[in-house]
Amino acid sequence: MAFDPQEKPLAALLAPDILDLLEESPASVAAETEDLHPADLADVAELIPREQVAAFLAALSPARAADVLEYLNEDLRSDILEEIPASQAAALVSQMTPDDRADALETIDADVADEIVSELPAEERAETERLRQFEPDTAGGLMTTEFVSLSENMPVDEAFTAVRALARLGRKEATYAIYATGTDGRLQGVLSLRELLAAAPGATIAEVARTEVVTVAPSADRQEVARITADYDLIAVPVVSESGHLMGVVTVDDVIDVIQEEQTEDIQKMGGMEALDEPYMSISFWGMIRKRGVWLCLLFIGELFTASAMQGFEDELKRAIVLSLFVPLIVSSGGNSGAQATSLIIRALALGELQLKDWWRVAMRELPTGLTLGLMLGVLGIVRVVMWQKLGIWDYGEHYWLLGITVGISVTGVVAFGSMIGSMLPFALRRFGLDPASASAPFVATLVDVTGLVIYFLAALLILRGTLL
Amino acid sequence: MAFDPQEKPLAALLAPDILDLLEESPASVAAETEDLHPADLADVAELIPREQVAAFLAALSPARAADVLEYLNEDLRSDILEEIPASQAAALVSQMTPDDRADALETIDADVADEIVSELPAEERAETERLRQFEPDTAGGLMTTEFVSLSENMPVDEAFTAVRALARLGRKEATYAIYATGTDGRLQGVLSLRELLAAAPGATIAEVARTEVVTVAPSADRQEVARITADYDLIAVPVVSESGHLMGVVTVDDVIDVIQEEQTEDIQKMGGMEALDEPYMSISFWGMIRKRGVWLCLLFIGELFTASAMQGFEDELKRAIVLSLFVPLIVSSGGNSGAQATSLIIRALALGELQLKDWWRVAMRELPTGLTLGLMLGVLGIVRVVMWQKLGIWDYGEHYWLLGITVGISVTGVVAFGSMIGSMLPFALRRFGLDPASASAPFVATLVDVTGLVIYFLAALLILRGTLL
């Protein structure tokens, strides 16, 4: 989405002062910055000279530094964790929430990560090793293992005391929800802290908890987790094992990151390239070339067939050179209508508005749409040819009317064909287990161009035979 | 993002039973469905015959029906509210949260909306009228006016009693945060219910509240609200007046909807069309034609200049018809590299990775990238020509080497030019206050095509003079 082109001025303002403090009295940095949001401190860390960052984090309390690390961009965070001593890194990450800790270790050199993990306190180490086994793009890879689960038979006032005790320990879990488990340890219900407060003192958790719990499996794709969070307006999604036991919780802030990453990937794929997987400015030159070059070469090879198509009609071109004048116009019209159709369908599939089975309904919708749009452009094409002739801007010869009609009919056909291919390709890709977003505008254009040329020259043969041809 | 092509089977399973119930004993519908999530009931409402929906909602308690309305798709919700008696509609929407109520009224016929509002209880009416004054795509238009704000001087245990009382009234506000206001009524701090629980009994709110409150103005663009929510991992953003008074709160579930809507708009614009603003399947045929036709015609008119460009080189074409064979190839290569660059930059701008002022750094990055990619394709082009000649697939004449070099050099130039235009156009659009996402692949291609042809024929004139030309 197109945000206002605005910096985060706060961080820019703070950076110089904090640098001075680091020079003069590092000890006072923690106190001076305690009222600031860790996200802003992370921005500061990204603004100050690279070699100062470690010192800056060291000047903060481990807990605070860990908060800052959670907001730091991935590259910088990884560099820092790789460069500082493993014991120090362990002290930092042990203060992170389990899921962020696992993510942070995910992005750094595996050996360094193992070393850091080995330095963790036994409990954190076990937890971290368990979380690291999940694929990062699954519910298991996103979840935190810190959550509040209480026996459904517990009286609410007892539950309340338990939660308050947790809160007093400074544990963050209680912010989200309280999960009620049966005697067999299976997840039975959920209630918010607010609902716990509202409960009548006598009741048990089972009596006040909502039994309609929306859950995901640890193996669920992160896109599925995002869809469920959005559909049900959740702020946390419980991750439940096959046996029905609560394994962890995916919180909404992580879901928002997922949504944005997924959409970045889609948009980049729709641009006819591989997803970058890192910010535009931080990817290496050759990394960029690789991500763009592979697709660009494939598309180019596809486009080479247009040369073959043109060769196939070289005689017609020789006889009526005027035909060549409209080749770029014809070819591009098909690409454009294809680009529209494909981005519409890719997005509708992504949002779940369309399912695979809807392909036929879509085809039946795109056919009339494409034909209508094609007719509009076709008329424009005829008008162009005839007008240029009448105005004496260019002489297309005595058969200019026939030429105009050839152009008009070809444009109509090509545009209709383009929107058909553009709308069906995403379905085809998904059908074969590929990402519909790969149906990029360039990809569709490449598919349409050769056919567009054939349509054009066949129309010409049909209409101009005996006159120009 | 590309979700699994899966339905929500639950709703599909429930629909028939619920239809039967509506037939036989409408009275029992409420009880039979009480354990279901309103989002699922909304799916049911979207599955059952249109004329049954009102009866279905009527069979539920007003509070429950209101929950279902909040999850119903916009079109259906509007139809229902417009068709049922205003008094009944008022009874329903009065049970919605103020922000959802305002949104629901936003989407229906203005007169009907006014009629419904006039039927609301005085308090809800006043609140609703106030909220309806904000632009729907601003923080004011997104915020709910239900929130908990307490004097910062209040002792925590007193505050706790107050919140518990609210919770017992079944009010949802307390789920998010508690806002601390000074004696002048200005927002001074924020604390979560968890933090309130953790507070030592003696303390006052001021002592435990976090003073680093991230806020937005009621006029803030919804994209700005989304960016702040994502950057600071918030579950609610307080909306504060210029005078520093808390006006309302934007909750994270609404922010997720904003992010998805904005990204749908961007993707559709990037496909070279207007944003649909409604699901693919629910937009009318002519609505679709309008959204796509306008841009398609503009692009077509732009592409007409390719015909003029070709005319400008008709003599060269006459002398060396072979040149025309590679026209589609040259033109498309520029479009493809442009499409890649533009989607990269649009997304980086949207995520705030790039600012307007970065245009020069980007240009200096795209130039070498484009040239490198261009060289890769250029070599492919030369190989194609020479290989076809050597293999005897096609005879390009004795000067086939020169022809190959012409194609190669042109492709290199066109690709470099394409990625330059593609990367700069989004900056240009934002610079002039337009949405960078309008820099669609087709738009860029149109800009690049004419220049591509000129580059091609100039290269030909340079290299083939005295031989083919």
Residue A443 placed within a domain: yes
Q: Is B207 on the interface with A (CB under 8 A)?
A: no
Q: Out of A417-426, A447-456, B190-199, B240-249, which region has the weakest mean confidence (pLDDT)? A: B190-199
Residue B164 placed within a domain: yes
Q: Which of A98, A97, A99, A106 is nearest to A77 (CA)?
A: A106
Q: Is B20 on the interface with A (CB under 8 A)?
A: no
% residues pLDDT > 90 (chain A) = 39
Mean pLDDT taken over chain B: 88
pLDDT of residue B173: 64
Q: Which residues contact B188 (CB under 8 A, 6 or more apart)?
A: B152, B180, B181, B182, B206, B209, B211, B213
Residue B196 placed within a domain: yes
- Regarding whether B321 and B439 lie in a shared domain, the answer is yes
- A106 vs B4, more confident: A106
Looking at B169-235, list the stretches that DSSP marks H as alpha helix, in order from N- to C-terminal side.
Answer: 193-198, 205-208, 222-231
pLDDT of residue B124: 87
DSSP state, residue A251: E
Q: Which of B260, B42, B285, B266 is nearest to A350 (CA)?
A: B260
Q: Out of A172-186, B65-79, B398-412, which region has the weakest mean confidence (pLDDT)? A: A172-186
pLDDT tier at B1, thresholds 50, 70, 90? very low
Nearest to B329 among A307, A336, A341 (CB): A307
Q: Which residues contact A427 (CB under 8 A, 6 or more apart)?
A: A345, A349, A356, A359, A362, A436
- Regarding whether B86 and B22 lie in a shared domain, the answer is yes
| Inter-chain touch B259–A384, beta carbons under 8 Å | no
Report, as an integer, the average pLDDT of B142-149. Answer: 88
Q: Is A360 on the interface with B (CB under 8 A)?
A: no
Residue A261 placed within a domain: no
pLDDT tier at A194, thresholds 50, 70, 90? confident
Report, as an integer, the average pLDDT of B403-426. Answer: 95
- Regarding whether A159 and A64 lie in a shared domain, the answer is no
- The answer, yes or no, to whether residue B83 has pLDDT greater than 50, is yes
Q: Out of A249-253, B160-164, B335-339, which region has the weakest mean confidence (pLDDT)? A: B160-164
- Regarding whether A158 and A130 lie in a shared domain, the answer is no
- Regarding whether B215 and B124 lie in a shared domain, the answer is no
pLDDT of residue B174: 57
pLDDT of residue B255: 94
CA A17 to chain B, closest CA, distance in angstroms equals 18
Residues B16-32 as b/e (b if ≥16 CB within 10 A, e otherwise) read eebbebbeeeeeebeee
Q: Is B294 on the interface with A (CB under 8 A)?
A: no
Report, as an integer, the average pLDDT of B305-321. Answer: 89
| Inter-chain touch B272–A336, beta carbons under 8 Å | yes
Q: Is B372 on the interface with A (CB under 8 A)?
A: yes
| Inter-chain touch A340–B369, beta carbons under 8 Å | no
Q: Is B384 on the interface with A (CB under 8 A)?
A: yes
Cβ count within 10 A of residue A351: 18
Q: Is A164 on the interface with B (CB under 8 A)?
A: yes
Q: What is the CATH number of the domain that holds A223?
A: 3.10.580.10
Q: Which of A83, A22, A68, A74 is nearest to A48 (CA)?
A: A22
Residue A116 placed within a domain: yes
Report, as an integer, the average pLDDT of B65-83. Answer: 88
Torsion of CA A413, A415, A421, A427, to 10 degrees: -130
Domain endpoint, select from A135, A155, A171: A135
Q: List CB contacts (< 8 A) between A296 and chain B.
A: 333, 336-337, 340, 373, 376-377, 415
pLDDT of residue B9: 65
Using DSSP, state whether A187 is helix, strand or coil: strand
DSSP state, residue B181: E
- Regarding whether A450 and A318 lie in a shared domain, the answer is yes
CA A421 to chain B, closest CA, distance in angstroms equals 14
Q: Is A262 on the interface with B (CB under 8 A)?
A: yes
- The answer, yes or no, to whether residue B110 has pLDDT greater than 70, is yes
- The answer, yes or no, to whether residue B3 has pLDDT greater than 50, is no
Report, as an integer, the average pLDDT of B273-302. Answer: 89
- The answer, yes or no, to whether residue B352 has pLDDT greater than 90, is no
Q: What's phi and psi for A247, nearest 5 deg?
A: -100, -30
State pLDDT tens for residues A114-142: 999 999 998 889 888 888 888 888 999 99
pLDDT of residue A9: 64
- Regarding whether B104 and B177 lie in a shared domain, the answer is no
- The answer, yes or no, to whether residue A188 has pLDDT greater than 80, is yes
Q: Which residues contact A219 (CB under 8 A, 6 or more apart)?
A: A135, A138, A139, A140
- Regarding whether A17 and A126 lie in a shared domain, the answer is yes
pLDDT of residue A4: 38
| Inter-chain touch A311–B172, beta carbons under 8 Å | no
State pLDDT tens for residues A352-379: 889 899 999 999 999 999 999 999 999 9
Mean pLDDT taken over chain A: 88
Tally of structural domains, chain A: 3
Do A40 and A11 form a contact (C-beta atoms < 8 A)? yes
* C-alpha–C-alpha distance, residues A133 and A140, integer Å: 9
Largest CA distance in chain A: 97
Report, as an integer, the average pLDDT of A36-43. Answer: 87
| Inter-chain touch B353–A257, beta carbons under 8 Å | no
- The answer, yes or no, to whether residue B353 has pLDDT greater than 50, is yes
Residue A279 placed within a domain: no
Residue A1 placed within a domain: no
Residue B469 placed within a domain: no
pLDDT tier at A175, thresholds 50, 70, 90? low
Q: List CB contacts (< 8 A) between A233 and chain B.
A: 39, 71, 253
* Token duo for residue B270: 């990037």
- Regarding whether B441 and B301 lie in a shared domain, the answer is yes
pLDDT of residue B367: 94
Start-to-end Cα distance in chain B: 51
Q: List CB contacts (< 8 A) between B427 and chain A.
A: none
Do B66 and B95 form a contact (C-beta atoms < 8 A)? yes
Q: What is the CATH number of the domain that holds B391?
A: 1.10.357.20
CA B111 to chain A, closest CA, distance in angstroms equals 30
| Inter-chain touch B332–A303, beta carbons under 8 Å | yes
Q: In what order do the strands lie in the sheet with A187-192?
A: A148-151, A177-181, A187-192
Report, as an integer, the average pLDDT of B110-120. Answer: 90
- The answer, yes or no, to whether residue B308 has pLDDT greater than 70, is yes
pLDDT of residue B201: 82
Secondary structure of A314-381 in the HEC alphabet? HHHHHHCHHHHHHHHHHHHHHHHHHHHHHHHHHHHHHCCCCCHHHHHHHHHHHHHHHHHHHHHHHHHH
- The answer, yes or no, to whether residue A1 has pLDDT greater than 90, is no
* C-alpha–C-alpha distance, residues A454 and A310, integer Å: 9
Q: Which residues contact B162 (CB under 8 A, 6 or more apart)?
A: B148, B150, B154
Q: Is A386 on the interface with B (CB under 8 A)?
A: no
pLDDT of residue A62: 86
pLDDT of residue A7: 44
Q: Which chain A residue shows the shortest CA-CA distance from B168?
A: A198
- The answer, yes or no, to whether residue B136 has pLDDT greater than 80, is yes
Domain endpoint, select from A95, A112, A135: A135
CA A436 to chain B, closest CA, distance in angstroms equals 7
State pLDDT tens for residues A148-165: 889 999 999 899 888 888
- Regarding whether A438 and A349 lie in a shared domain, the answer is yes
Q: Is A361 on the interface with B (CB under 8 A)?
A: yes
State pLDDT tens for residues A321-338: 889 999 999 999 999 999
- Regarding whether B447 and B315 lie in a shared domain, the answer is yes
Do A130 and A208 form a contact (C-beta atoms < 8 A)? no
Q: Give the number of A-B residue pairs with CB atoms closer than 8 Å.
A: 442
- Regarding whether B364 and B327 lie in a shared domain, the answer is yes
State pLDDT tens for residues B369-393: 999 999 999 999 999 999 999 998 8
Residue type, B427: F
Q: Is A428 on the interface with B (CB under 8 A)?
A: no
Q: What is the CATH number of the domain that holds B38?
A: 1.25.60.10
pLDDT of residue A219: 93
CA A334 to chain B, closest CA, distance in angstroms equals 10
- DSSP secondary structure, B35-59, as one string: TS-HHHHHHHHHHS-GGGHHHHHHH
Structural domain boundaries enclosing B382: 285-464
pLDDT of residue A37: 85
CA A368 to chain B, closest CA, distance in angstroms equals 9
pLDDT tier at B129, thresholds 50, 70, 90? confident
* C-alpha–C-alpha distance, residues B396 and B386, integer Å: 9
Domain endpoint, select from A228, A251, A274: A251
pLDDT of residue A173: 64
* Token duo for residue B189: 């701090």
- The answer, yes or no, to whether residue B235 has pLDDT greater than 80, is yes
CA angle A181, A183, A187 (to 5 degrees): 25
Q: Out of A241-245, B70-74, B153-157, which region has the weakest mean confidence (pLDDT)? A: B70-74
Report, as an integer, the average pLDDT of B42-65. Answer: 88
